[in-house]
């Protein structure tokens, strides 16, 4: 493969939020382009005027940028082969339609949607393929006149060749399609716009696309596309149909499985590098068992040969594990900046964070990051430090209500009161003193303090927690615990 020849595209339809399966297509195309020092093109397929919305185009830009995928040509930055929104390419499609009409490869069809639906059902009932029966291929002038007078809105169809078509797929090998199952298909709709099939092929020709890397759901469309390429006398791109993204139950990933769009994962606080690392491993493998891979490593290792035929399972446990790894490795300042909006959503720091607060928050983030799957979980972990009081779980009250527990709390309180600040060393030496003075150790010493200060029997190491708490809060919690009655 001559590197400069690689030209691939991501061609989303802006009819909804960017689905994680589509984001994976974008990522694979991007990795392929970068690996071969080719071009990655963004094309917006908005031929479905009713369902396409500008809002979703902006969302696509936002999500791709968040994932760190930059494109070389696209609607927002232009390029030699633009425009890159199909709605702005109508004249180009008309020119291509003329070529087909000149060669008698297209015709006008007057069948109504209702008629087509009835015939489709009949065909299924009779055990036949529900394809268009090509009946308008040979209309007489009189029939056409009659249909026109009836006010029917025609479409334009392409004459499919009557021979089987083999898709040479780089992932799936040769896949042969029986021409008898594929009828003449619509290339221009009754609203005067091009159909999806037509626009895709014209654009792939015009944009000199070398490889079409897209979801397996498009494989049945490919014989139609190949027939169009041939009709235009153009060389075929290479095709690679990726396996689909499935939920853990093996069905297509959908809302039933939870979050399905990139923006939802962004909002939940998955880190973009972790998320794209996770996506890269859906249906592709570097050939060994490495899982945490930097962007440069992904580019270096990526290959179409490494892509699997079997479907890829989107497993949230794996994503959580991977995100946790990235959270633990992230530079703490960066992580703190990312965490603050989540703390604010949780009700903390509504007016922003000053410098000294930032320093303290970063210590809290560092202390709890090992427990996080994603950043939206941070308020529940940070509450221990940020709330005035902690909620003491009922099952633990006995530790602070026992005589020994009360003695520990009292002595601890008096020792802390006389200190200026409570750091880890000071805390440890206070514990040692109490141990000596009251002759208690282990759980008897530790648990009353842990329960009073954190509310729970398990969790962060106590000295780490205490070092992050202000003296005032420590004393307050000890007092509250002393006053806590047993139910």
CA distance 385 to 477: 11
45 binds ligand GLU (CB under 6 A): yes
Instruction: Give the count of residues interacting with ligand GLU (CB under 6 A).
Output: 7
Q: CA quadruple 478, 483, 486, 487: dihedral positive or negative?
A: negative
In 361-445, the DSSP E strands lie at none
DSSP code of residue 221: G
169 binds ligand GLU (CB under 6 A): no
Query: Residue 221 or residue 323: which is nearer to ligand GLU going by CB?
Result: 221
Q: Do 17 and 262 touch, CB atoms closer than 8 A?
A: yes
12 binds ligand GLU (CB under 6 A): yes
Query: Residue 222 or residue 454: which is nearer to ligand GLU going by CB?
Result: 222
Question: Within a 10 A sphere around the Cβ of 229, how many other Cβ atoms?
Answer: 16
Residues 56-115 that bind ligand GLU (CB under 6 A): none
157 binds ligand GLU (CB under 6 A): no
218 binds ligand GLU (CB under 6 A): yes
401 binds ligand GLU (CB under 6 A): no
Dihedral over alpha carbons 411, 414, 420, 425 (to 10 degrees): -10
CB of 195 vs ligand GLU, minimal distance in Å: 12
Query: Residue 45 or residue 377: which is nearer to ligand GLU going by CB?
Result: 45
Give catalytic status of residue 65 as yes or no: no
200 binds ligand GLU (CB under 6 A): yes
Q: Do 107 and 159 touch, CB atoms closer than 8 A?
A: yes
Query: Residue 13 or residue 344: which is nearer to ligand GLU going by CB?
Result: 13
Query: Residue 26 or residue 468: which is nearer to ligand GLU going by CB?
Result: 26
CB of 11 vs ligand GLU, minimal distance in Å: 4
Query: Residue 222 or residue 362: which is nearer to ligand GLU going by CB?
Result: 222
Residues 115-154 that bind ligand GLU (CB under 6 A): none
**Pick from 8, 11, 20, 155: which binds ligand GLU (CB under 6 A)?**
11
β partners of residue 212: 239
Query: Residue 209 or residue 382: which is nearer to ligand GLU going by CB?
Result: 209
- What are the tokens at 291? 């899982």
Q: Which stretch binds ligand GLU (CB under 6 A): 11-19, 128-136, 261-269, 468-476?
A: 11-19
Q: Do 78 and 43 touch, CB atoms closer than 8 A?
A: no
Query: Residue 12 or residue 269: which is nearer to ligand GLU going by CB?
Result: 12
Q: Note the helical H segments in 295-396.
A: 295-301, 316-329, 332-345, 355-368, 378-386
24 binds ligand GLU (CB under 6 A): no
CB of 160 vs ligand GLU, minimal distance in Å: 19
Q: Do 268 and 286 touch, CB atoms closer than 8 A?
A: no
- What are the tokens at 13? 């339809």
Query: Residue 84 or residue 412: which is nearer to ligand GLU going by CB?
Result: 84
Q: Which of 5, 153, 208, 255 is catalytic?
A: 255
Q: Buried b / exposed e across 363-396, counting CB within 10 Å, b at 16+? A: ebbebbbeebbbbbbbbebbbbbbeeebebeeeb
CB of 341 vs ligand GLU, minimal distance in Å: 31
Q: Do 487 and 397 touch, CB atoms closer than 8 A?
A: yes
CB of 263 vs ligand GLU, minimal distance in Å: 17
CB of 31 vs ligand GLU, minimal distance in Å: 16
283 binds ligand GLU (CB under 6 A): no
Question: Within a 10 A sphere around the Cβ of 357, how many other Cβ atoms?
Answer: 13
CA distance 381 to 332: 16
What contacts 331, CB < 8 A, 6 or more positions away? none
Q: Which stretch binds ligand GLU (CB under 6 A): 7-15, 234-242, 316-324, 350-358?
A: 7-15
13 binds ligand GLU (CB under 6 A): yes
214 binds ligand GLU (CB under 6 A): yes
Q: Which stretch binds ligand GLU (CB under 6 A): 6-14, 30-38, 316-324, 451-459?
A: 6-14
What contacts 371, CB < 8 A, 6 or more positions away? 377, 381
* Sheet (strand 165-169) strand order: 39-42, 7-10, 211-215, 238-242, 165-169, 173-177
CB of 196 vs ligand GLU, minimal distance in Å: 7
CB of 200 vs ligand GLU, minimal distance in Å: 5
Dihedral over alpha carbons 49, 51, 56, 60 (to 10 degrees): -80
In 216-316, the DSSP E strands lie at 238-242, 245-246, 312-313
CA distance 370 to 376: 14
Q: Which stretch binds ligand GLU (CB under 6 A): 10-18, 367-375, 435-443, 449-457?
A: 10-18
CA distance 409 to 156: 85
Q: Which stretch binds ligand GLU (CB under 6 A): 8-16, 143-151, 239-247, 435-443?
A: 8-16
377 binds ligand GLU (CB under 6 A): no
CB of 214 vs ligand GLU, minimal distance in Å: 4
Count of H helices and E strands in the chain?
A: 20, 11
Which residues form the interface with ligand GLU (CB under 6 A)? 11-13, 45, 200, 214, 218
Name the residues annotated as catalytic.
Answer: 255
């Amino acid at each position: 493969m001559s590197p400069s020849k690689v030209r691939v595209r991501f061609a989303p339809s802006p009819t909804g939020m960017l689905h994680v399966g589509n984001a994976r297509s974008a990522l694979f195309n991007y990795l392929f382009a970068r690996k071969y020092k080719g071009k990655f093109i963004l094309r917006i397929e908005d031929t479905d005027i009713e369902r396409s919305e500008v809002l979703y185009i902006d969302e696509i830009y936002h999500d791709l940028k968040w994932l760190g995928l930059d494109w070389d040509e696209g609607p927002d930055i232009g390029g030699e082969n633009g425009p890159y929104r199909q709605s702005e390419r109508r004249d180009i499609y008309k020119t291509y339609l003329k070529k087909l009409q000149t060669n008698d490869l297209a015709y006008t069809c007057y069948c109504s949607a209702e008629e087509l639906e009835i015939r489709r059902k009949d065909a299924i009932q009779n055990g036949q393929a529900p394809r268009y029966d090509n009946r308008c291929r040979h209309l007489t002038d009189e029939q056409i006149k009659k249909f026109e007078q009836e006010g029917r809105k025609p479409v334009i169809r392409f004459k499919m060749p009557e021979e089987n078509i083999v898709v040479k797929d780089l992932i799936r090998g040769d896949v042969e399609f029986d021409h008898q199952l594929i009828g003449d298909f619509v290339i221009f709709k009754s609203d005067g716009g091009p159909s999806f099939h037509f626009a895709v092929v014209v654009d792939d020709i015009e944009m000199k696309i070398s490889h079409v890397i897209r979801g397996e759901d498009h494989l049945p469309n490919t014989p139609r596309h190949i027939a169009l390429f041939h009709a235009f006398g153009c060389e075929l791109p290479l095709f690679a149909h990726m396996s689909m993204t499935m939920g853990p139950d093996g069905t297509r990933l959908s809302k039933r499985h939870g979050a399905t769009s990139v923006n939802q994962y962004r909002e939940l606080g998955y880190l973009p590098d972790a998320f794209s690392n996770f996506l890269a491993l859906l249906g592709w493998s570097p050939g060994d068992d490495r899982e945490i891979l930097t962007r440069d490593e992904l580019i270096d290792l990526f290959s179409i040969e490494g892509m699997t035929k079997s479907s890829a399972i989107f497993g949230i446990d794996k994503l959580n594990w991977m995100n946790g790894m990235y959270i633990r490795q992230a530079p703490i300042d960066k992580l703190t900046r990312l965490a603050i909006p989540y703390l604010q959503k949780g009700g903390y720091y509504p007016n922003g964070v000053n410098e000294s607060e930032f320093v303290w928050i970063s210590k809290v983030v560092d202390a709890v990051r090992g427990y996080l799957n994603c950043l939206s979980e941070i308020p529940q972990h940070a509450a221990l430090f940020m709330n005035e009081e902690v909620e003491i779980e009922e099952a633990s009250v006995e530790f602070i209500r026992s005589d020994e527990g009360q003695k520990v709390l009292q002595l601890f309180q008096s020792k802390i009161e006389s200190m200026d600040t409570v750091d880890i060393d000071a805390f440890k030496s206070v514990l040692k003193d109490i141990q000596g003075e009251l002759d208690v150790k282990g759980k008897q010493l530790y648990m009353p303090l842990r329960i009073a200060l954190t509310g729970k029997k398990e969790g962060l190491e106590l000295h780490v927690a205490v070092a992050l708490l202000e003296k005032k809060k420590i004393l307050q919690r000890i007092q509250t615990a002393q006053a806590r009655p047993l139910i």
